[in-house]
Amino acid sequence: MGIQEAIPVTVAQGSLSLLEQYTAIRRTTEWICEGLTPEDQMVQSMPDASPTKWHLAHTSWFFETFLLKPYLQGYRLFHDDFTFLFNSYYKQLGAHPNRSYRGLFSRPSNEQVRDYRRYVDEHMRQLISVTTDEQVLSLIVTGLNHEQQHQELIITDIKHGLWSNPLKPAWKTPPPSSTAPQPSAQEWLSYNAGLYSIGHDGPEFAFDNETPRHQVFVEKFQIASRPVTNGEYLDFINDGGYRRPELWLSEGWDTVNAQGWQGPLYWICHSERSEEPLPAPQVFTVNGLQPLDLNEPVCHISYYEADAYARWAGCRLPTEAEWEIAAADQPIAGNFLESGRFHPCGADSSCGADTPVRGFFGNVWQWTSSPYTAYPGFKPVEGALGEYNGKFMCNQFVLRGGSCATPQSHIRATYRNFFPAHARWQFMGLRLAK
Amino acid sequence: MGIQEAIPVTVAQGSLSLLEQYTAIRRTTEWICEGLTPEDQMVQSMPDASPTKWHLAHTSWFFETFLLKPYLQGYRLFHDDFTFLFNSYYKQLGAHPNRSYRGLFSRPSNEQVRDYRRYVDEHMRQLISVTTDEQVLSLIVTGLNHEQQHQELIITDIKHGLWSNPLKPAWKTPPPSSTAPQPSAQEWLSYNAGLYSIGHDGPEFAFDNETPRHQVFVEKFQIASRPVTNGEYLDFINDGGYRRPELWLSEGWDTVNAQGWQGPLYWICHSERSEEPLPAPQVFTVNGLQPLDLNEPVCHISYYEADAYARWAGCRLPTEAEWEIAAADQPIAGNFLESGRFHPCGADSSCGADTPVRGFFGNVWQWTSSPYTAYPGFKPVEGALGEYNGKFMCNQFVLRGGSCATPQSHIRATYRNFFPAHARWQFMGLRLAK
Amino acid sequence: MGIQEAIPVTVAQGSLSLLEQYTAIRRTTEWICEGLTPEDQMVQSMPDASPTKWHLAHTSWFFETFLLKPYLQGYRLFHDDFTFLFNSYYKQLGAHPNRSYRGLFSRPSNEQVRDYRRYVDEHMRQLISVTTDEQVLSLIVTGLNHEQQHQELIITDIKHGLWSNPLKPAWKTPPPSSTAPQPSAQEWLSYNAGLYSIGHDGPEFAFDNETPRHQVFVEKFQIASRPVTNGEYLDFINDGGYRRPELWLSEGWDTVNAQGWQGPLYWICHSERSEEPLPAPQVFTVNGLQPLDLNEPVCHISYYEADAYARWAGCRLPTEAEWEIAAADQPIAGNFLESGRFHPCGADSSCGADTPVRGFFGNVWQWTSSPYTAYPGFKPVEGALGEYNGKFMCNQFVLRGGSCATPQSHIRATYRNFFPAHARWQFMGLRLAK
Amino acid sequence: MGIQEAIPVTVAQGSLSLLEQYTAIRRTTEWICEGLTPEDQMVQSMPDASPTKWHLAHTSWFFETFLLKPYLQGYRLFHDDFTFLFNSYYKQLGAHPNRSYRGLFSRPSNEQVRDYRRYVDEHMRQLISVTTDEQVLSLIVTGLNHEQQHQELIITDIKHGLWSNPLKPAWKTPPPSSTAPQPSAQEWLSYNAGLYSIGHDGPEFAFDNETPRHQVFVEKFQIASRPVTNGEYLDFINDGGYRRPELWLSEGWDTVNAQGWQGPLYWICHSERSEEPLPAPQVFTVNGLQPLDLNEPVCHISYYEADAYARWAGCRLPTEAEWEIAAADQPIAGNFLESGRFHPCGADSSCGADTPVRGFFGNVWQWTSSPYTAYPGFKPVEGALGEYNGKFMCNQFVLRGGSCATPQSHIRATYRNFFPAHARWQFMGLRLAK
């Protein structure tokens, strides 16, 4: 039985109690890690990525730090040093290790980290069963959403880690059929100029950076009916896209040259150990090296590349407001973490669903042209959790829509993901606008 | 006669012909350099800064490349190699030297560069006298605005260069009196929510990045009646501002620690050669080291510092739309390049003018919270000049209002300056909003 | 039963057959790794260090590449990719991975690497039982000495890896008593000027860099009767040794300041997470943090520090010729890898032996003032193995005598170890001369 | 009149008084700088190189600091800040500027530095005329030798500075004829094994690092009758010398690849601004770009390249003892600074002299295989001047013989120059041994 066939849990639906949600989400994290050895779970291939084991520990640290320690009477820390060891970046909680050293922590072992998770789970179940405090309940939901964010990072980080191994090992066995259906022709969805409202409002969970809901004036615009495909992106490459400075932002051009980029991350055209070109481009996936499927949405490109492609195509990237306006009435359907594929399927398919989708959700995050900034009237959460989002509002761009590594229950039209312009290791693609 | 007393020229006014404008602006550039030796004019103290001599040559190269070569019949290049040597970054015009090597060009000499300027001036006068082509006339105006931008950079770059000299030499003699008047109390100017128009429209010159004029919806806001002063900023420092991570953006905090920042650039509290603190803070100016004047607007701070100060003060930085709305009806009066001071005066004074000003223009550029992006419908200029502004729309923040090193005729309410968040060597300050 | 009590094998003695030697040495490597988890064995804390697992694989690769592949008929590679993956630096054998990526190889797993070792062992036993070829026999002995070198590196590299973990974990349980006996007073051993012979000659194994034996003229000299102790080194520190530039080589002084060195590697005087000094210096060992024992020889110092200490003491470091002359008639007795302590004992003790030793062998490698160069008439081995030693004869210094991590059967008076002047992670100490 | 024709002064001969020597040497420094503008004299193209103006000031600082201040009664410093500003690296004299900032010092001007020189000269003449103190006289001679060392550095540093200018400007006009005569065939000079004495002894000036004279035992050896030529080196390049790792030291191979070296420094085979190869190799000289003369000794190569060439040729580099033994009875004749060529002439010619020379002296420094270490019994000079030589005895190799930029009166058979293995900007070549 391939892991990919199992869709393990349906989480965070209205019909589930908080305890059921907690259990399902925590279990999903461990389901993701199936197939990874304790050694795999130690790999840190770059400072931006973290070892799987660290993610497993840090998400438990989050519950311990923000919930068990302050709110569960008589709670004793699992291990005194973990307070320091698994703090990611919360300065208000004291010192934390340099993030580039996370891959050196052979101790605690993977088994100890699993014990830590079990210990935290046991106490969290206690807390959930007794608390009625609105603030505590809200923090638990935050912790679950935090866990879901790290589910995605586990996948993207270990993918980069295994890619860094000359053996290019597969972590998952490939799904039965891997060829994506032919995408539909790209069409333009048109919107009128006017005042629109974007951002989150209401009782459901959202991160502070999605609030407050506010009005924006938007000129009339058109947005593409589906993301750009590998085949379309290959045309850009073959047209000299990576050798024509006039297509690039100044920083992008410098990066292309400094890094020697010739295509998206994970595309390979020649062996590391010989000079010969491969007969056809390959792409590294969680299933190891696979032939590049031209019908899939292009993925693992930086903002610089998305922007250059759009300029080459005579278009531009949408702003985050435009994207949200267009996505607001789309169903949250597509290819998510739950499929267990951890890889995009066709640019407007939902991996076997009957109805084609417009690809607004799932498959690949879509770069917008919007720098990540505070919405008017934005107020960070009080206390150390205020460091969650607000302090990163500088030199990052917003991505929208979620990916094949995002839990379906985690995403929504107002969701704002953000990464620096050079980042490529998330499942990042693009959708055109004009 | 002190250089500072001379206000040499009134430029770009409606009453001046294009030839008069050309002559006045080019002469102003040379007036700025008075007091600098040929050796001074070679200094390049960091890759971001350029030598004075390079600025003098590059601005002439601009006229030669974009006007004389294509439009003046029979024009012969002053020197074949200069096409390469003084190209700053226009990739479409071919290769250019690495910008960090500009300080190594002892040849051509300062004298040859002056000859180059004279040669270009002579031919530009010919071109101006014969051309009636609207496009050519428009390009000439662009060249003059380009020259004015480099006037400001000459001042900021040489200031940094002289600062890098342990002798901390003065370049200008100090003005008769250097104590700024007590600023007025800070008040809040209030604006209603609504649809506003920002950006440039009309026949006067503006850069492409100021267009098109467009509507924005803005929530109600308040903006301070004057910039923050040195005295106020010193309170922030004394309150531990540089040691409290919760006040800073994540990147800002990393920068503060990596660079060891303890205050604005050019403030010094102890000698380079001894451990003893100075009795009072000093500040490096074009007149050498001077006592820090608490009534002046704070200057030479990064975006990170401006943002942290605002958070400490319980406020925020204005967006560029808010700033422009507030500035739109303010007179363009204040302390500009023409005063010859090249240093801020009081936070709401106009350096001797009768009427106090609100400091929207002149003295110090004001950081806004707006990343530098394209306005809706933005189209870069065609051809190589399209590289002027658009390709830098990434990882920069917008500053507004001009400074004591900006020509008065160059600035306007819609003008968008932009620098990376860590930059400090321009005359950069801040104004609060909430 | 503590691992430290077991002295597992007596290797490479005249009485052992080559097969017995092979078996004993290979088994010793695995004995060293006892107590390390598969996760521990992946840690690479700096590019200079390698993961334990890599050492285990690379030493097998060495036998496979230089013996099985060319000399065992019908031999099939264990895994095609390992030829590439576990090549350290032999350019003549083709490409090899960047050494700083060795810590990323979660695959092959520790278990697969153990299989690889077993597979190689099985075939090596076949080869040993059939071959009579002198060259092959000689290569096997080289392979065993190579394995012994990596035994030492396994210890020093994992020690550095565990040190990089904020938990400062112990890998071995401490020996019953850890206090070293009071060292004898330092005396001076005197030698006359004259022509001496140094270097290796004869049928026993030695590395090419120890040959040929040759004459050197040496002025009269004195050499200390024992290495410098922690207590003596602490006097140097307390006398401002790390703050007085006149005591240091220029490069050494730059390094001290750039790295912020205040004492030997692994000494700690305050916690990572608080500002408070510890009541007494501690030192990190394979048994975790321990109180600093002033009677032990000082260890984990760079050439720069050894040189500065000697200058402070009014002495100098011995040349390698002086050291070898003095050591030539000393017994090869002391504290070696076989003790299982993996830590120095008293400066002139043999860890429990009745007779005091002069500490020429075991405990700590001793820096000499001799740069690592070719002996007159030096010829590297033919073929790829010629890259073993010769190509590193640049910017390294010679160390002599072996350490507590060196196999006793591996060391001899003519043995030349070499490291760059800044290296500290080997068990490096010093002995004075004048 | 070409500068090159003038041989200005004959210095430091027995027949000259100390005052005459002082005057001649100081005048020579200024003669070297003829043809350099004040702007040229500010160029610092890499941290290892210093601006001409800095050399002019620092050599005067040396006399002021070590002679005038302590020994001339009533002496007043020329400028208080110069004590700090022009200290190169003497830690015992207090702080000094970071050496990479020397190129930023537009102030003091070139003219002020000339005033400084005149002021120091005037007072040095007073001191010379009154002192009879042996120590003072000895220090003056040291100061003159220090000045001569900086004469060579002025030439090599400004050559590198002008090379960094895309215009590749000439500083001197070329000599009438620049083609070197055909070198004689390379022969081998043979020496027997035995005890030899090397190093300096006697009343003439020598640096501390040349002492004490001492015995060395040397095996029989052969040394080439002349340095390697450009033509011979080109054979090495054409035989793939820069692409064959087996010829290189490990660090050398890393450097070749990291730096992209394909030949000696200053050789160019294609334009910076186009991809086309030049019809024939050119070489940058003080006379600008010139055709590469195959009969000249190869120059501007690193130790790595010298070592790789020797290995390719089936030879090795001589040790410094071998070189000194062979050179001891050679006349100190050849192509020195005094010729004003500042460029090598034929490999065994003396630039027009009747008798061919063996090229031991002048033309190019010759890399030896000897790391720069202390001679047995070496004692640095007392006081701050002890930092002159001893503290650099780490990671440098010895070069012997002087070059076309070395004053003839400055060089001798025992003279030890030293540079790191990667350095190329001095006039460095090689002579084979075996």
Per residue in D44-67, pLDDT (tens digit) is 999 999 999 999 999 999 999 999
**In terms of Cα–Cα distance, which of D163, D214, D202, D161 is closest to D321?**
D214
SS3 content of chain B, % helix, strand, coil (to 5): 40, 15, 50
Which of D84, D102, D107 should be substituted to probe chain B, the one whose Cβ sees the most B Cβ atoms within 10 Å? D107
Q: Is the pLDDT of residue C318 over 90?
A: yes
Neighbours of B260 (CB within 10 A): 8
Supply the pLDDT for residue A8: 42
**In terms of Cα–Cα distance, which of B32, B24, B29, B26 is closest to B340?**
B32
- Report whether A337 contacts A404 (CB < 8 A): yes
* Chain B residues touching A387 at Cβ < 8 A: 246, 250
Nearest to D250 among C218, C319, C391 (CB): C391
Q: Chain B: nearest CA to D156, how far in angstroms?
A: 15
CB contact under 8 A, A103 and C103: yes
What is the chain C residue with the closest CA to A53? Answer: C39
Q: Chain C: nearest CA to A46, how far in angstroms?
A: 10
The mean pLDDT of B163-172, rounded to a whole number, is: 94
The Cα–Cα gap between B245 and B253 comes to: 6
Q: What is the dihedral of CA C29, C30, C32, C37, to 10 degrees?
A: 140
The Cα–Cα gap between B1 and B6 comes to: 8
Longest C-alpha distance within chain B, in Å? 66
DSSP string, C99-122: GGGGGG---S-HHHHHHHHHHHHH
| The two three-digit tokens of residue D79, written as one number | 């400028």
- Report whether C357 contacts C333 (CB < 8 A): yes
Strands A221-224 and A267-270: unpaired
Nearest to A250 among B219, B374, B392 (CB): B392
Supply the pLDDT for residue B10: 41
Q: Is the pLDDT of residue B6 over 50?
A: no
Q: Chain B: nearest CA to A421, how far in angstroms?
A: 8
Supply the pLDDT for residue B421: 98
* Chain A residues touching C273 at Cβ < 8 A: 84, 94-95
* B with D: touching (≥3 Cβ pairs within 8 Å): yes
CA–CA distances in Å: residue C177 to residues C281, C299, C333, C359, D281: 19, 19, 21, 20, 71
Supply the pLDDT for residue B352: 61
* Chain C residues touching D386 at Cβ < 8 A: 246
Q: What is the pLDDT of residues A276-286, one digit of tens each?
A: 667 788 999 99
Q: Which runs of E-coded beta strand occur in C96-193?
A: 188-191
Nearest to A369 among B373, B386, B421 (CB): B373
pLDDT bin (cut points 50, 70, 90) of residue B272 is: low
* Chain D residues touching B41 at Cβ < 8 A: 106
CB contact under 8 A, A251 and B394: yes
Supply the pLDDT for residue B349: 74
| The two three-digit tokens of residue C233, written as one number | 């080194």
Nearest to D391 among C195, C250, C377 (CB): C250
Nearest to C104 among A43, A85, A110 (CB): A43
Q: Residues of B at the D interface (Cβ-Cβ below 8 Å)? A: 37-45, 81, 84-85, 94-95, 97, 101, 103-110, 161-162, 164-167, 169, 272-273
**In terms of Cα–Cα distance, which of B144, B90, B64, B97 is closest to B387?**
B90
* Chain C residues touching D316 at Cβ < 8 A: 374
Q: What is the pLDDT of residues D203-261, one digit of tens each?
A: 999 999 999 999 999 999 999 999 999 999 999 999 999 999 999 999 999 999 999 99
Q: Which runs of E-coded beta strand occur in D259-305?
A: 267-270, 277-285, 288-291
* Chain A residues touching C104 at Cβ < 8 A: 43-45, 161, 164-165
CB contact under 8 A, D395 and C395: yes
DSSP string, A307-336: HHHHHHTT-BPPPHHHHHHHHTTS-S-S--
Q: What is the pLDDT of residues B319-347, one digit of tens each?
A: 999 999 999 999 999 999 999 999 999 87
CB contact under 8 A, D248 and C391: yes
* C with B: touching (≥3 Cβ pairs within 8 Å): no
Q: Is the pLDDT of residue C8 over 90?
A: no
* A with B: touching (≥3 Cβ pairs within 8 Å): yes
Supply the pLDDT for residue D424: 98
Task: State yes or no: ipTM above 0.90.
Answer: yes
Give the helix/strand (H/E) hosting A233: helix A230-238
Q: Which residues pair with D289 in a beta bridge?
A: D284
Q: Chain D: nearest CA to B221, how far in angstroms?
A: 46
pLDDT bin (cut points 50, 70, 90) of residue C269 is: confident
Which of D195, D325, D391 should be substituted to probe chain C, the one whose Cβ sees the most C Cβ atoms within 10 Å? D391
Burial B204-236 (b: 16+ CB within 10 A, else e): eebbbbbbeebbbbbbebbbbbbbbbbbbbbbb
CB contact under 8 A, D109 and B164: no
Q: Is the pLDDT of residue D302 over 90?
A: yes
**% of chain B surpassing 70 pLDDT:** 92
Nearest to D42 among B85, B101, B106 (CB): B106
- Report whether B414 contacts B200 (CB < 8 A): yes
* Chain C residues touching A103 at Cβ < 8 A: 103
Which of B250, B315, B368, B369 should be substituted to probe chain A, the one whose Cβ sees the most A Cβ atoms within 10 Å? B250
Supply the pLDDT for residue A5: 36
Neighbours of A30 (CB within 10 A): 12
The Cα–Cα gap between D224 and D233 comes to: 15
Q: What is the pLDDT of residues D55-103, one digit of tens each?
A: 999 999 999 999 999 999 999 999 999 999 999 988 888 888 899 999 9
Nearest to B217 among A217, A392, A421 (CB): A217
Q: Is the pLDDT of residue C12 over 70?
A: no
The Cα–Cα gap between A319 and A369 comes to: 5
* Chain A residues touching C109 at Cβ < 8 A: 37, 39
Which amino acid makes up residue B255?
T
- Report whether B108 contacts B79 (CB < 8 A): yes
* Chain C residues touching A40 at Cβ < 8 A: 106-107
Q: Chain C: nearest CA to D183, how far in angstroms?
A: 29
Q: Which residues pair with B417 in a beta bridge?
A: B399
Residues of chain A with pLDDT under 70: 1-14, 175-178, 270-277, 352-356
| The two three-digit tokens of residue C97, written as one number | 């991975």
Neighbours of C138 (CB within 10 A): 12
- Report whether D268 contacts D290 (CB < 8 A): no
**What's D66's DSSP letter?**
I
CB contact under 8 A, C374 and D369: yes
Q: Chain C: nearest CA to D91, how far in angstroms?
A: 7
Q: Residues of A at the B interface (Cβ-Cβ below 8 Å)? A: 89, 91-92, 195, 214-219, 245-246, 248-253, 303-304, 316, 319, 369-371, 373-374, 376-377, 386-387, 391-395, 421
* Chain B residues touching A394 at Cβ < 8 A: 249-252, 303-304, 421
CB contact under 8 A, A167 and C272: no
Q: Residues of D at the C interface (Cβ-Cβ below 8 Å)? A: 89, 91-92, 195, 214-219, 245-246, 248-253, 303-304, 316, 319, 369-371, 373-374, 376-377, 386-387, 391-395, 421
Q: Residues of C at the A interface (Cβ-Cβ below 8 Å)? A: 37-45, 81, 84-85, 94-95, 97, 101, 103-110, 161-162, 164-167, 169, 272-273
Q: What is the pLDDT of residues B367-417, one digit of tens each?
A: 999 999 999 999 988 888 888 888 999 999 999 999 999 999 999 999 999
Burial (CB count within 10 angstroms: exposed 0-12, middle 13-18, buried 19+), residue A381:
middle
Q: What is the pLDDT of residues B281-311, one digit of tens each?
A: 899 999 999 999 999 999 999 999 999 999 9
CB contact under 8 A, A167 and C108: yes
DSSP string, A235-256: HHHHTTGGG-GGGS-HHHHHHH
* Chain D residues touching C252 at Cβ < 8 A: 394
Which amino acid makes up residue C133?
D
**pLDDT averaged over every residue in chain A:** 92
Q: Is the pLDDT of residue C213 over 60?
A: yes
| The two three-digit tokens of residue B231, written as one number | 């005295």
